Amino acid sequence: MEIQFTLNGKKIHTSVKADVLLLDLLREFGCYSVKRGCETSNCGLCTVLMNGRPVLSCSTLAVRADGAEVFTLEGLQKEAEGFGRYLAGEGAEQCGFCSPGLIMNVLSMEKELHNPDEEAVKEYLAGNLCRCTGYMGQMRAIVKYLNREGGR
């Protein structure tokens, strides 16, 4: 099946089998920030933005990207670096394995939520799992980032 989509600002025209997952297609195009974690749509490691909304690429068929605009962390480096400074400022160190999925959701939240409190952030991130932190530093960083002066 022939599909066309925009990946991180670049037009892509490719052929895919009907059962290929978006995660696998994106990795074929060098988007290694998109990771396979739980394979059950529960951990958020595979999160990408499709038409501005977070989607789990491990449970989305690649053909669904036809005509869409898809962003991975590779296409949002500048935005990710801005949020990364907040993580560092809150001492929210982590191994980094789950970071891309978390960051993609934070960047989506930035567009969708207005002055969110911690509860709104927790609800939005319900599907993101991190196995090496207690979330407190991350939560502080996210709330500060989303409510920063001059943000958005």
pLDDT digits (tens, 9 = 90+) for 68-82: 999 999 999 999 999
Q: What is the pTM of this model?
A: 0.90
pLDDT at 130 over 60: yes
* Cα–Cα–Cα angle for 36, 39, 43, rounded to 5 degrees: 75
Q: What domains does the chain contain, in order, with CATH numbers? A: 2-74 (3.10.20.30), 76-146 (1.10.150.120)
pLDDT tens string 9-41 = 999 999 999 999 999 999 999 999 999 988 788
Comparing C-alpha atoms, which of 28, 104, 101, 16 is closest to residue 62? 16
Amino acid at 4: Q
